[in-house]
């Protein structure tokens, strides 16, 4: 491992090229997670409710992948997880071949259309792949071949996935927020971005800050301003980067969220009663803090001095 790190340090092009190839492949997988994980969770919740409604709560079993199965005589549903069934065109059922699944390139070669029926393939798929590549490269370039870069790239993959799912469903699933929280706490033992004390305080403070805001908003307005997934995501960011970055993350995410929300209402005439997911703004602020947190935090506290 040491020799490989030295090779990357002596050959920056190899380091960045490796990150490019790996992140493109991961970006393709993230598209699968973004699409399938909400469906998997919906099926798990539905099966759980069916088991409880049938008066057979003991028949419910939660599988290792987060899905649920019910031990009844009913015919089981077709397997649906991150590896099965094989990806297909939703319009004609054409099975996506390996050559049609090359990140970005396949979409360009196919001109954004299914080779089976000619139906349009959403540009979001190559966009997610490109974003995963570019943001991973930014982390790799910023930190170089270091433990901070490796952890930062993995964190970036989590943040992209959670942001897209939150935009689609307005849910931040425990399957993603809690592993990221534990990654941050374990990494603090090394430490990578912060020490154990700062990580633990950051996790607790991150959760409690938004939980307090949520309770105060509900008390004043009678409405729920955000979800518990937002609390857990900020707790994960606090665990990864330390409590010191939390004021800046909250400020950045709130400002960006307010600007985007007002823009959507004014420009697109979006109904102000339609909730706007807060997770993507937290994720963006956390990503910025991961790269430039020390400089921004110093500037922020300098303004208060």
pLDDT, tens only, 94-109: 888 888 889 999 999 9
Distance CA 221, CA 223 (A): 5
Q: Which helix (H) or strand (E) holds 22?
A: helix 12-53
* Dihedral angle, C-alpha 129, 133, 135, 137, nearest 10 °: 180
Predicted local distance difference test score (pLDDT) of residue 286? 95
Predicted local distance difference test score (pLDDT) of residue 1? 65
DSSP 199-215: HHHHHHHHHHHHHHHHH
Residue that has been written with the tokens 């993350």 in this structure: 249
Predicted local distance difference test score (pLDDT) of residue 187? 97
Predicted local distance difference test score (pLDDT) of residue 93? 83
Predicted local distance difference test score (pLDDT) of residue 254? 87
| pTM of the entire predicted model | 0.88
pLDDT in tens, 62-74: 555 555 555 555 5
- Kindly report each contact of residues 121-130 with a partner whose C-beta sits within 8 Å and lies 24 or more positions away, as own/partner: 125/31, 128/27, 128/30, 128/31, 128/34, 128/160, 128/164, 129/24, 129/27, 129/28, 129/30, 129/31, 129/103, 129/104, 130/27, 130/104
Q: Distance between the two ends of the chain, CA-based, in angstroms? A: 44
Predicted confidence pLDDT, tens digits, the chain (305 residues): 677 888 888 899 999 999 999 999 999 999 999 999 999 988 888 877 777 777 655 555 555 555 555 555 555 567 788 888 888 888 888 888 888 889 999 999 998 999 888 899 999 999 999 999 999 999 999 999 999 999 999 999 999 999 999 999 999 999 999 999 999 999 999 999 999 999 999 999 999 999 999 899 888 888 777 889 999 999 999 999 999 999 999 999 988 888 877 777 777 776 666 777 899 999 999 999 999 987 877 776 676 66
Distance CA 223, CA 226 (A): 9
Q: Which helix (H) or strand (E) holds 300?
A: helix 279-304
């Amino acid at each position: 491992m040491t020799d490989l790190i030295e090779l990357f340090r002596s050959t920056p092009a190899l380091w960045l090229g490796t990150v490019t190839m790996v992140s493109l492949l991961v970006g393709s997988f993230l598209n699968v997670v973004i699409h399938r994980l909400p469906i998997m969770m919906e099926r798990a919740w539905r099966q759980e409710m069916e088991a409880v409604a049938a008066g057979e709560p003991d028949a419910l079993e939660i599988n290792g992948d987060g899905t649920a199965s019910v031990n009844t005589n009913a015919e089981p549903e077709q397997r649906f997880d991150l590896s099965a069934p094989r990806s297909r065109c939703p319009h004609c059922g054409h099975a996506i071949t390996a050559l049609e699944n090359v990140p970005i390139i396949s979409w360009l070669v196919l001109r954004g259309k299914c080779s089976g029926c000619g139906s349009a393939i959403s540009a979001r798929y190559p966009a997610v792949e490109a974003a995963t590549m570019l943001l991973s490269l930014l982390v790799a370039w910023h930190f170089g071949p270091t433990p901070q870069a490796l952890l930062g790239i993995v964190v970036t993959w989590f943040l992209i996935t959670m942001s897209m799912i939150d935009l689609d469903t307005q849910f931040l699933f425990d399957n993603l927020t809690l592993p990221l929280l534990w990654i941050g706490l374990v990494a603090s033992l090394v430490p990578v971005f912060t020490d154990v004390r700062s990580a633990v305080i950051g996790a607790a403070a991150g959760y409690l800050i938004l939980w307090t805001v949520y309770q105060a908003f509900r008390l004043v307005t009678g409405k729920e301003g955000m979800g518990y997934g937002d609390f857990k995501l900020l707790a994960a960011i606090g665990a990864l980067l330390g409590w010191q970055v939390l004021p800046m993350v909250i400020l950045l995410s709130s400002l960006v969220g307010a600007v985007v929300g007002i823009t959507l209402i004014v420009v697109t005439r979006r109904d102000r009663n339609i909730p706007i997911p807060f997770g993507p703004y937290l994720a963006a602020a956390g990503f910025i803090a991961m790269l430039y947190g020390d400089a921004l935090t110093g500037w922020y506290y300098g303004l208060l001095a």
